Amino acid sequence: MLEETGPEWLSEEVKTGTTIIAIEYNGGVVLGSDSRVSAGASVVNRVMNKLSPLHDKIYCALSGSAADAQTIAEMVNYHLDVHSIEIGEDPQVRSAATLVRNISYKYKEELSAHLIVAGWDRRNKGQVFATLNGLLTRQPFAVGGSGSSYVYGFVDAEYRKGMSKEECQQFVVSTLSLAMNRDGSSGGVAYLVTIDEHSTEEKVILGNDLPTFFDQ
Amino acid sequence: MATLTVSRAPFAGFSFENCKRNAVLEAEANKVGCSLPAARKTGTTICGVVFKDGVVLGADTRATEGMVVADKNCSKIHYISPNIYCCGAGTAADTEMTTQIISSNLELHALSTGRVPRVATANRMLKQMLFRYQGYIGAALVLGGMDCNGPHLYSIYPHGSTDKLPYVTMGSGSLAAMAVFEDRYKPDMGEEDAKRLVRDAIAAGIFNDLGSGSNIDLCVITKGKVDYIRPHDEANKKGVRTGDYKYKRGTTGVLTKVVTPLALEVVEETVQTMDTS
């Protein structure tokens, strides 16, 4: 009756569950994520910001194992700092994505994290890169995490080319809201980061301010 | 990257040196019929809260070895540096050694930089070490302290992920303690309110979780002062016996008495002088 397996968070790895999304528009990118971190059935952090800065104008969205994702992001942050000093200017988004991809590919068997890299640079403006399992591909938008499965239909149907910044932000928030409603491992608040030539804007949208759909 | 640690620079990956030795020892012990002792876990409720002028860390004091309480009054709040303390849950040896290693490295780092160490530095060192061991070091920590940038509180998991939050709980009693925090936490509390909140959270863990018990320790860290209150609250005092099981001589009457002297002779006498200088 009294099992000595101990608390589950001790043996269960802390996962970020998650829904993450990044989308590029003409002039920049918008990244979005939920904020739930779970260990087994327990939520250990309900306000985690999964949009991690790699550089001033390059962010990445974390999903999968919390420890693996945090470590990759911090390592790439360090490498980009050194790289940008060496080249004497802001690094390209492709460089950041390549660094993430190299770690994800080399330690493919040991790591279990997926990072979406997105940002703005002078050469190619806004870019979104997916680095799942060690590939590197530039996409108009990318979704990831356990909650993404529930919204593939929505994003495929609703995405249009040439959306404006506000439309993109609305798109991201709606996607996150839908995924958080259906996925048990996603929830909390929505974090939004908008990166363009002039600024990097971070925003939090609290639970009750998220858009509601038919069943709410 | 130059490191200033006394210990050897860490090799990449987990070191499997001792695994073979442990396997041999276990086989030998099983041959004789005994089993290796179970690792002592701290069961535990630990928590921390950031208030207006600093942080308050709290912990219970029970250490369990399987279903038996191994230590009724162990200290789970470990010293990292004069302005940073760390509570540990999980395997007792792991939390003890991990915090001591990082405390030592942080002191060297502080001497090298000439500055008071920052909580973020201790956090980085701890998470990088725990990640390197891929979760095999069972240490779940609540790290809190006060530095030039104000009060900070981190929770660190055995696999190496960390969260920076205004209030955190860890351990088997973490859900009970978190329930108290979620109900009564307010930003910018005063010191007495924060201490009361932490005390209540740990008490919730002690009374509702089997792995936590005994007393409540608190550590209040503010600018320039650390109050290590051990114990803050003796929630489980040992009961006072009301009766006495000693009987006076003569209570039982003696009927007969037989004395048999044993004939023993001295066979060997050796003197070993003790060096008492």
Q: Which residue of A has its CA nearest to B133?
A: A67
Which residues are within 8 A (CB) of B170 and not within 5 positions of it... i.e. 6 or more apart?
B44, B46, B47, B87, B89, B140, B141, B142, B155
pLDDT given for residue A144 in this prediction: 95
Give the distance, in angstroms, between the CA of residue A160 and the centroid of all CA atoms in the same chain: 21
pLDDT tens digits along B71-100 = 888 899 999 999 999 999 998 899 999 999
pLDDT tens digits along B172-205 = 999 999 999 999 999 999 999 999 999 999 999 9
pLDDT given for residue B12 in this prediction: 64
Q: Which residue of B has its CA nearest to A2?
A: B67
Tell whether B136 is within 8 A of chain A (Cβ): no
Size of interface A-B (CB pairs under 8 A): 60
For chain A, what are the domain ranges? Answer: 18-206
B44 assigned to active site: yes
Using a CB-CB cut-off of 8 Å, the residues of chain A touching B175 are 42
The torsion region of residue B150 among left (phi > 0), alpha (psi -120 to 50) and beta comes to left
Mean pLDDT of chain A: 91
- Ranges A62-71, B10-19, B118-127, B154-163: which has the least confidence: B10-19
With CB atoms and an 8 Å threshold, state whether A42 touches B175: yes
For chain B, what are the domain ranges? Answer: 45-234
> What is the pLDDT averaged over residues B4-16?
60
pLDDT given for residue A4 in this prediction: 40
Find the DSSP H helices in chain B.
Answer: 17-32, 92-113, 119-132, 174-184, 191-208
- Ranges A100-114, B10-24, B113-127: which has the least confidence: B10-24
pLDDT given for residue B20 in this prediction: 78
Using a CB-CB cut-off of 8 Å, the residues of chain B touching A7 are 171-172, 174, 211
Extract the tokens encoding A153.
Answer: 């239909």
More confident residue, A173 or B65: A173
Tell me which residue has tokens 């608040």: A189
**Percent of chain A predicted with pLDDT > 70:** 93
Using a CB-CB cut-off of 8 Å, the residues of chain B touching A82 are none
pLDDT given for residue B251 in this prediction: 87
pLDDT given for residue B156 in this prediction: 96
Q: Which residue of A has its CA nearest to B171?
A: A7
pLDDT given for residue A7 in this prediction: 54
Per-residue confidence band for B222, with pLDDT thresholds at 50, 70 and 90: very high
Residue A3 has pLDDT above 50, yes or no: no
Tell whether B171 is within 8 A of chain A (Cβ): yes
pLDDT given for residue B28 in this prediction: 85
pLDDT tens digits along B198-215 = 999 999 999 998 888 889
pLDDT given for residue B244 in this prediction: 81
Residue A13 has pLDDT above 90, yes or no: no
The torsion region of residue B81 among left (phi > 0), alpha (psi -120 to 50) and beta comes to beta
Q: Which of B130, B132, B159 to mutate to test the interface with A (most CBs of A within 10 A)?
A: B159
Residue B151 has pLDDT above 50, yes or no: yes
Q: Which CATH number fits domain B45-234: 3.10.20.600, 3.60.20.10, 3.40.50.2300, 3.30.2130.10?
A: 3.60.20.10
Per-residue confidence band for A1, with pLDDT thresholds at 50, 70 and 90: very low
> What is the pLDDT averaged over residues A188-214?
94
C-alpha A179/C-alpha B68 separation (Å) is 45
C-alpha B10/C-alpha B161 separation (Å) is 19
- Ranges A11-25, A92-106, B121-135, B263-277: which has the least confidence: A11-25
Residue B233 has pLDDT above 90, yes or no: no
pLDDT tens digits along B13-70 = 666 777 778 888 888 888 887 777 666 665 789 999 999 999 999 999 988 888 888 8
Which residues are within 8 A (CB) of A45 and not within 5 positions of it... i.e. 6 or more apart?
A35, A36, A37, B155, B163, B165
With CB atoms and an 8 Å threshold, state whether B163 touches A10: no
pLDDT tens digits along A151-168 = 999 999 999 999 999 999
pLDDT tens digits along A30-46 = 999 999 998 888 899 99
pLDDT given for residue B250 in this prediction: 84
Extract the tokens encoding A158.
Answer: 């609703």
Using a CB-CB cut-off of 8 Å, the residues of chain A touching B158 are 10
Give the distance, in angstroms, between the CA of residue B276 and the centroid of all CA atoms in the same chain: 37
Nearest CA to CA, how far is A131 from chain B (Å)?
21
Residue A138 has pLDDT above 80, yes or no: yes
DSSP string, B69-117: EEESS---EEEEETTEEEEEEEBHHHHHHHHHHHHHHHHHHHHHHTSPP
Among partner residues A2, A47, A67, which is closest to B161 by beta-carbon distance? A67
Residue B4 has pLDDT above 70, yes or no: no
Do the bridges between strand B167-170 and strand B84-90 make them parallel or antiparallel, or are there none, so unpaired?
unpaired
> What is the pLDDT averaged over residues B123-140?
94
Q: Has domain A18-206 been given CATH number 3.60.20.10?
A: yes
